[in-house]
Amino acid sequence: MDREELKRQAGWRAADYVESGMAIGLGSGSTARYATLRIGELLATGRLRDVVAVPTSDETEALAREAGIPLTTLEEHPRLAVTIDGADEVDPALNLIKGLGGYLLREKIVAYATECEIIVVDPTKLVERLGTKAPVPVEVVRFGWENTRSALEDTGARPVLRMRDRDPYLTDEGNLILDCWYEGGLEDPEALSARLNGIPGVVENGLFLGMTAAVVVAAPEGTRIIEAN
């Protein structure tokens, strides 16, 4: 069973959390994409009805429109019943690193508005300590970004400006991303998150702490669900 098939299984299983009449969030990334496509199928066959969705990126918005999912906004639906999203790392407490896809700001805004955040991953994303495989993405404004990078270095990070081809990567909001590597991983993610967001020029960071209700993990031996304590 290849990795894409595992992602599809996780996305399909996560779609089972969606019920008719819900306002939901649609995450971004390769695994969450399968959940969006599955929700579109369920709506098309009538197994789901009256579902509206808030996409977390321009990419997801285009995919949802193609799948026939009615879209809404947080202004129209400030509380969402369920959001299905992916993650770059998941620790045993279901804390996350997100943002390698570039959509961390919108994803965190949507997660904060969600009653039940469901994360879909393959087993490679499970870690004992955050930051051991992935950097912490930090979204920063362009003005004075090199000063912001210096301040990030003071937290112990090795910040790397994310690039797209030869140009700096720009988020949907027009900001830069600095991928912050921490040798040995993160000892205290909560303290680090607060410190990062206290730096002028930082818009948001990719640490999603205490926001996850359940993680759907698809592995060759079968799909399993890890629920928050």
Asked if residues 87 and 97 have their Cβ atoms less than 8 Å apart, the reply is yes
CA 56 to chain centre: 9
118 in helix, strand or coil?
strand
Distance CA 35, CA 228 (A): 21
CA dihedral sign, ordered 69, 73, 76, 78: positive
From the list 89, 107, 117, 139, the catalytic residue is 107
d(CA 26, CA 74): 12
Residue 190 falls in the annotated catalytic set:
no
| Residues in contact with 165: Cβ distance below 8 Å, sequence separation at least 6, in sequence order | none
CB 88 within 8 A of CB 121: no
Classify each residue of 115-149 as buried b or exposed e, where b means 16 or more C-beta atoms within 10 Å of its C-beta: ebbbbbbbeebbbebbbeebbbbbbbeeeebeebb
Q: Residues with Cβ < 8 Å from 221, sequence gap 6 or more?
A: none
Active-site residue set: 107
